Structure 1
Amino acid sequence: MADGQINDGSSVQYGKTQYWDERYTEDPAQFDWYLRWAGLAVVVQKHVRKNVDTIVLGCGNSRMGADMIDDGYKYVDISLVVVKQMLETYKDSGLKGLKFIHGNACSLEFPDESFDGAIAKATMDVLMCGEGSTSNVYAMCHEVSRVLRPGGVFFVVSHDPGYLQYLDPEQANREFGWKVTMDQIPKPVMNPKNPAVDEKGRPLYHYVYICKKKLSEHGAS
C-alpha cells in the first residue's frame, strides 16, 4: 500500500516515537508513504548511480529497501519496534547489504562521509509535526551533510511544495554545502474513480528536493 498523507488531525502525534511504536505494534503490515520505489527511482537514478552506499532515514515498514537493494544499503528508524519487525521480515530473504538500524536521524551514529546517497521519504514531514520541529529539521540536515561524501545527494520527498523555505538554496549552500533543486512526481492514482487532481482538475504531485553536496570545500558541485 502507498500514498499515505501526513496532513490529518492527528498529525501532531507523528513527531513522537511512542506514536510510531504503538502504530507498528497494532498494524505491522508493510506500508509505503506517498509512493513506492518504482515511482521515486526515476528521480533518484538521474542523480545517484546504482551499487553505491545509500541510507534511508525513517524507513518505517516500507518495501522500498527490498525493492532498491543492489549492495550496501542501510536503513535508520527511530522506532525500535519497526526495526525488529523488519529484521524478522527479511531475515531469510537472501538480500545482501540490506540492513535495518535503530537510530536518530538528527544524531546519526555513522562516520563522516559514509554514504553517496540519502533518502528521507515523508521523514521531514514527520519532523515538522513534532515539538522543536525547525531545530530538528536543521539537525537532520546537518547530520546528513556530515555523513554524505562529496558529490553525494540527499533526496527529501514531501507532499509540501513549500519546503524551499527550509532548504533555501543560498542558506543550504552556506550551512550544508548543498546545491538544492526540486523535481515533482505525479501522485499515483489509487482509484480510477478518485483521480489525483485538485478541485480545478490539475494533477497533484509529490515533491522531491534534491540536495547535492559540493565535491569539495572550494570546488564546484
Structure 2
Amino acid sequence: MLFIEMCTMGLAPQTLQNRTETMERLSTLPGHNCDYLSKGYWNLRYISEDNFEWCKGYQEFKPLITKYVGKNDRVLILGCGNSSLGAEMFSDGFQNIINIDFSEVVIEKMTKRYPQMQWFCKDMRTLEGDADLGQFDVIIEKGTLDVLFVKDKSPWEASPTTKHDMKRTTDSIYSLLRPGGRFVSVTFTQPHFRLKYYQHEEYKWKINYETFGEGFHYFFYVATRECP
C-alpha cells in the first residue's frame, strides 16, 4: 500500500505546484505499512488532509460505474475516506448514497463538506445484519479491502488474521446486498490474488471483472447476488 500510494503521488507532471503538493503528501505517509490498519493513523492524517484518491479518481472508471450502477440504486460506499467518489457520483445523478468509514474525524469533515449525503462512522468488518443501514442495490469499495493485506509478507498467502478480516468483511457485504444487487471492488490487485477471497460456497453470486487505466491497469470486480 505504501508503494502504491507513493506511485500515485508521482503520476502527475511535476510542476512547481505539483512538487509542493507531492511534498505535502509525503508528509502524510505512514512509517510502516501496518499503520494503514490503525484508526489513530487515519484520524491524525485526516485532520490536515482534504482529499486523496486510491486507484484513480471517479472520472477514470465512470463508464464502468454507469454500466453497473443505476441512477435510482441505493448505494453504500465502504471506507469512503476523503475521496470525492461519492460527491462526483451524486453530481452525476446517483443521489441515494450512504458513505461509511471507521475514522470519526473524516466522517465529521465529510458530513460538513457534503451534507446532501449520509455519513456514518462504522467498521466494514462488523456490518453483517446492521439494521441502521438496511439493504443496498450496490456496495462499492475502492482500495479499502487492500488495506487488510498490509501486514502480509507475500501476496500469495494471506495470514489467518487477514483471511478472517476479509471473510468478516465479505460476509457483511453479502448480508447487506439485496437479491440482484452488485458488489463493486476497485483495486490494483490481480484476479489470481483477489478472486479466491470473493468466492465462497455460501455466497450465491456471480463474479466478473474488467480493467481500466493506461500503463498500470486497475481491476473493476463486480459480484452480482443471485435472485432466489
The amino acid across from 2:202 in the alignment is E
Find the counterpart in structure 2 of residue 30 from structure 1: 51
- Superposed, 1:23-172 pairs within 5 Å as 23-25=45-47, 27-69=48-90, 70-91=94-115, 95=116, 98-108=117-127, 109-110=130-131, 114-129=135-150, 132-161=161-190, 162-168=193-199, 171=200
Q: TM-score, normalised by structure 1?
A: 0.78
Find the counterpart in structure 2 of residue 179 from structure 1: 206
Among 18, 26, 32, the residue aligned to 2:40: 18
Q: Following the alignment from structure 2 to structure 1, what is the Cα–Cα distance between the partners of residues 187 and 224?
A: 17
Find the counterpart in structure 2 of residue 5 from structure 1: 5
Q: Following the alignment from structure 1 to structure 2, what is the Cα–Cα distance between the partners of residues 40 and 100?
A: 23
Q: CA deviation at 1:71?
A: 2.0
Find the counterpart in structure 1 of residue 222 from structure 2: 210
Q: Which has the higher helix share?
A: 2
**Identical positions, percent:** 26
Find the counterpart in structure 1 of residue 24 from structure 2: none
Verify the 8 A CA contact 1:21 1:80 in the aligned structure 2: yes
Q: Following the alignment from structure 1 to structure 2, what is the Cα–Cα distance between the partners of residues 55 and 30?
A: 19
Q: Following the alignment from structure 1 to structure 2, what is the Cα–Cα distance between the partners of residues 30 and 12?
A: 21
User: How many aligned positions are there?
Assistant: 189
Verify the 8 A CA contact 1:145 1:176 in the aligned structure 2: yes
CA RMSD of aligned residues (A): 2.3
Describe the SS at the equivalent of 1:32.
Answer: coil
The amino acid across from 1:179 in the alignment is K
Aligned CA distance change for structure 1 residues 149 and 112 (closer, same or farther; 3 Å): farther
Describe the SS at the equivalent of 1:60.
Answer: coil
Describe the SS at the equivalent of 2:206.
Answer: strand
Q: TM-score, normalised by structure 2?
A: 0.75
Q: CA deviation at 1:156?
A: 1.0
Verify the 8 A CA contact 1:113 1:150 in the aligned structure 2: no
Q: Following the alignment from structure 1 to structure 2, what is the Cα–Cα distance between the partners of residues 41 and 136?
A: 29
Gaps of 5+ in 2: 8-28, 152-158
Aligned CA distance change for structure 1 residues 90 and 49 (closer, same or farther; 3 Å): closer
The amino acid across from 2:125 in the alignment is C
